[in-house]
Chains A and B, each alone.
Chain A
């Protein structure tokens, strides 16, 4: 019997989309999910004169899709997850000379190709490893609650992944463990402004108790007639994003209710800071969304005698800024 402790998953960035490469980075921060089946066994219903529906089974198409969830999210994994869904082929820019504080600017084009990257994902245990090539993300999300006690407030990261097929293989060995910098929900900051130029100027302090971001990247597989059972290309449809907020009730949350009623367009920034990288910038995740509040529910709940408001912000395209969402990551990873 194989012990769970020998389970792991890792990935490598593909030089050419959907052409498998050896893994070079381990994934940490959560349990390895079960490996979803990549094929559906078809058993045609047929009338064959006996008391049975079918007498054969076959596979016509293969496709792998799975949710990756990292309950203890960390900054170093963000470039990989965002580059396979939102924008790829990013060149990280060092912010402070020789400090390795690399800024990854995921600023998707809404008109041109976003040069998405893809990964080869290796998962399994010491009994058998499996490899999936052409892995991309249909969604990217994060959620957190600012804990009201001694327990920490980890930020959970999630991504809906898809890839070509599951192939038994052997793990790329010898990979070193990463040095993850945790994303801390307690260090989350919320800003509300009106334009992209002013993003992050006006902070709503002492209000944020939790958040739930979901970005549907529009990235999808394309199955076209060809020599193979797996998908041939990828495409990118509309990018959509939502941010749910749980807010300590006060004047700031009440102003958000006014924004909702008037459908005032806002630029909402959700940011998380980590420790300083060398003597340079801190680890950072900044998400900017332009749009309006779709719903605000004042007095929706109470916790420890404090009223809680709930707001759902929905991003829409801003012709001036030419986008609806932008994600920036600063971390000590210079390449995926």
Chain B
């Protein structure tokens, strides 16, 4: 099964922070891969483990344009998900420079940007019913999805299909090594057309399930 997951960017309108900045926008890549999210989690873990430093020391360092390794990595990470044009990331170096400059010029705006970025990332992970409905529609129309839960579900279905039986649930997908998932998808894409598989599963199955349930004898002797 071939699923193409596009990069999804959502804008941060700086006008929400201050009227004077209306029209200025920064875009956030809200569906980064698990690898990138894990990288941020590791950075955060590292920063939190560090001994807190006096505030005056931080102020001196920032005015000198010097930041610690943890902070540099953290800001650099945001450079991977921030974009000016909603298509390409600004990069680690540019993000560090931008953040240092902003931290000096307007530290509140800096904190606002970080907070909204995290909200967008978290909000995208939080799947609403509408998002699911939209994603299903997208699958039916295009055979593709960027919905994180739906994508995990399809990957699980693919793996189960390849194994000839249920071996994994959608909630287990994140625990699989990336190269395994890629391998399964690559194999499946050569074995079957994504569209056909989706069609049978998404369109016919609900009706089939109802049909089976209404049959007077089928599986009626089983507990489940």
Contacts and interface: CB of A to CB of B under 8 A. Distances in A.
Nearest to B216: A237
A244 B164 contact: no
B211 interface: yes
A85 to B, nearest CB: 11
Contacts of A242: 208, 211
A209 B196 contact: yes
B221 A244 contact: no
Interface string A274-311: 00000000000000000000110100111110001010
Nearest to B162: A71
Interface string A219-239: 111010000000100010110
Contact of A308 (B191, B195, B215, B219): B195
B203 to A, nearest CB: 5
Interface of A: 30-31, 33, 40, 63, 65, 69-71, 138-139, 143, 145-151, 156, 160, 162, 209-210, 212, 214, 216, 218-221, 223, 231, 235, 237-238, 240, 242, 244, 246, 294-295, 297, 300-304, 308, 310, 312
B192 interface: yes
B187 to A, nearest CB: 8
A151 B161 CA distance: 15
Contacts of A219: 217
A310 B217 contact: no
Contacts of A33: 165
Contacts of A216: 212, 215, 217-218
Nearest to A162: B221
Nearest to B215: A216
B165 A69 contact: yes
B203 A310 contact: yes
Nearest to B2: A303
B93 interface: no
Interface string B204-224: 100110011001111111110
A154 to B, nearest CB: 9
29 contacts: A31-B165, A40-B223, A65-B219, A69-B164, A139-B218, A143-B200, A145-B191, A147-B190, A147-B191, A160-B218, A162-B221, A210-B196, A210-B199, A212-B200, A212-B204, A216-B212, A218-B216, A219-B217, A238-B217, A240-B211, A240-B215, A242-B208, A242-B211, A300-B140, A301-B198, A301-B199, A303-B143, A303-B196, A312-B203
Nearest to B212: A216
Contacts of B193: 145-148, 209-210, 303-304, 308
A178 to B, nearest CB: 18
Interface of B: 140-143, 163-165, 190-200, 203-204, 207-208, 211-212, 215-223
A310 B141 CA distance: 13
A295 B203 CA distance: 10
Nearest to A303: B195
B208 A149 contact: no
B194 A303 contact: yes
Contact of B195 (A70, A231, A302): A302
Given A147-B191, A237-B217, A242-B208, A302 B142 contact: yes
A220 B220 CA distance: 8
A246 B199 contact: yes
A148 B196 CA distance: 11
A302 B203 CA distance: 14
7 residue pairs, one from A and one from B, having the closest CB atoms: A303-B195, A301-B195, A220-B217, A237-B217, A71-B164, A145-B192, A246-B196
Nearest to A72: B164
A324 B97 CA distance: 74
Contact of A150 (B140, B141, B190, B204): B190
A145 B189 CA distance: 12
A209 B198 CA distance: 13
A33 B167 CA distance: 11
